[in-house]
């Protein structure tokens, strides 16, 4: 894809995004430090694609997603939403402009049990954004709620039920229906299948793929499970300690990783061939604290290939091939081990769970 085509297809641009949470102590709650949850993240999401944002728990994935969805205000950086030929700087919008932005960007939360109000019926949960964003009421509202439920694989008759009457997979379908209600163009899916059984995960993933084609959606798909990311993503961004360390086309990243952290994550994927030898890379030590990140490369305390310069010089995210960039000082000289890539493809969704 040419640079001009990439610019034309841009839907979302994240530029130098940071989120630092203060560390407070004492009765006067003095600020004595900062937790650098997200520390200078930049990437784009194109129209109609799925960008998989992957990394260990605590690396800043969810915080990044919530800033993009307009739920957390960033400490620094910009989120640009490209809608109808105009760039919307999300955190510079007026109240009315923010309402318009929220029509275009919605979020599906990780936990289907805590993300739905237990005191509200499904018709109220899915109908609330229809009332706020689209001004629906009465029969029109009930009809649209029923249609959305059927779109996500549930019966329209379920609209009068409460969340506790559904299974985990069905609750996540309700959450997806709520996200679809305003008619978004981008959906931030924050680990939408991690709390579900494996069989149900496949059903939800197939549903998301089907909805993407049907409604021309783009996804920022946040996950820690690379097998899920491999199944649904067109491109991948790997995150470590609040920074993007590698990004590229999903197949290229899986087959030819250029960062040692990506190689370690890929080595943890289960091997489908029972006769193949396990060659898992066990990282030494623990993840450093985001309140006190190490100097130089943030990954160097755990890296098998670290040199003295890695301890002093912070690496920049540099493009090494078409669309494939990494933040590693030794990227051009290392021969890292990848994994076979077999994407799931756009298959029709399975029956409801």
pLDDT in tens, 23-51: 988 888 888 889 999 999 999 999 999 99
Interatomic CA distance for residues 232 and 345, integer angstroms: 7
Distant-in-sequence, close-in-space partners of 28: CB < 8 Å, separation ≥ 6: none
Name the helix (H) or strand (E) containing 62.
Answer: helix 61-68
Q: Comparing C-alpha atoms, which of 283, 296, 181 is closest to residue 243?
A: 296
211, 180 Cβ separation under 8 angstroms: yes
Q: φ and ψ at 24, to 5 degrees?
A: -115, 145
- Determine the Cα–Cα distance for residues 263 and 184; give it in Å rounded to an integer: 35
**DSSP H or E segment with residue 95:** helix 95-104
Residue 285 near residue 278, CB atoms below 8 Å: no
Answer yes or no: is pLDDT of 270 > 90. no
Span 297-320, average pLDDT:
93
Q: Model-level pTM?
A: 0.90
CA-CA distance, 302 to 282, in Å (whole number)?
9
Eight-state DSSP code of residue 60? S
What is the β-pairing status of strands 243-249 and 86-89? unpaired
CA-based angle 254:214:150, to the nearest 5? 115
Distance CA 268, CA 311 (A): 26
What H or E segment, with its residue span, contains residue 243? strand 243-249
Query: If residue 43 lies in a helix (H) or strand (E), which one and from where to where?
Result: strand 30-46
Q: Roughly how many angstroms between the first and final C-alpha of the chain, as a whole number?
A: 39
DSSP classification of residue 138: H
Please say whether the beta carbons of 108 and 192 come within 8 A: yes
Per-residue model confidence as pLDDT tens digits over 163-211: 999 999 999 999 999 999 999 999 999 999 998 888 899 999 999 999 9
Decide if pLDDT at 284 tops 90. no
CA–CA separation, 288 and 79 (whole Å): 27
Our CA dihedral for 109, 189, 174, 143, rounded to 10 degrees, sits at 130
How confident is the model at residue 26, as a pLDDT? 83
Closest CA to 233 of 342, 120, 86, 72: 342
How distant is the alpha carbon of residue 54 from its chain centre? 7
Proportion of the chain above pLDDT 90, given as a percent: 71
Which residues, including other chains, have CB under 8 Å from residue 221's CB and lie 6 or more apart?
Answer: 50, 51, 52, 53, 189, 192, 208, 229, 232, 233
How confident is the model at residue 86, as a pLDDT?
A: 78
4-18, 161-175, 255-269, 338-352: which range is least confident on average? 338-352
349 DSSP 8-state letter: P
């Amino acid at each position: 894809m040419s640079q001009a085509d990439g610019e034309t297809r841009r839907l979302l641009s994240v530029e130098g995004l940071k989120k630092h949470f203060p560390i407070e102590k004492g009765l006067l709650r003095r600020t004595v430090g900062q937790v650098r949850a997200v520390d200078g993240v930049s990437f784009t999401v194109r129209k109609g694609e799925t960008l998989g944002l992957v990394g260990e728990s605590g690396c800043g994935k969810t915080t990044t997603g919530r800033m993009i969805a307009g739920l957390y205000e960033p400490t620094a950086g910009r989120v640009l939403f490209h809608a109808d030929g105009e760039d919307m700087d999300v955190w510079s919008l007026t109240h009315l402009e923010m309402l318009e932005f929220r029509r275009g960007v919605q979020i599906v939360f990780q936990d289907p049990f805590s993300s739905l109000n237990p005191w509200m019926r499904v018709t109220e949960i899915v109908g609330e954004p229809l009332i706020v964003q689209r001004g629906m009421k009465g029969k029109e509202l009930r009809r649209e709620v029923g249609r959305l439920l059927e779109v996500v694989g549930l019966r329209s008759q379920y609209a009068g039920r409460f969340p506790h009457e559904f299974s985990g997979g069905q609750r996540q379908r309700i959450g997806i229906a709520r996200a679809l209600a305003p008619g978004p163009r981008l959906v931030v899916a924050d680990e939408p299948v991690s709390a579900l059984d494996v069989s149900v995960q496949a059903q939800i993933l197939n549903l998301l793929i089907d909805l993407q084609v049907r409604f021309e959606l783009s996804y920022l798909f946040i996950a820690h499970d690379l097998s899920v990311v491999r199944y649904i993503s067109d491109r991948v961004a790997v995150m470590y300690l609040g920074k993007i360390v590698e990004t590229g086309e999903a197949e290229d990243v899986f087959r030819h990783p250029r960062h040692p952290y990506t190689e370690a994550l890929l080595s943890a994927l289960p091997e489908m061939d029972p006769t193949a030898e396990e060659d898992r890379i066990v990282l030494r030590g623990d993840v450093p604290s985001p309140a006190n990140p190490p100097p130089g490369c943030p990954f160097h305390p755990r890296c098998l290939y670290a040199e003295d310069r890695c301890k002093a010089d912070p690496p920049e995210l540099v493009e090494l091939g078409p669309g494939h960039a990494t933040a590693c000082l030794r990227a051009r000289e290392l021969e890292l081990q990848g994994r076979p890539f077999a994407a799931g493809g756009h298959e029709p969704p399975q029956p409801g769970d």
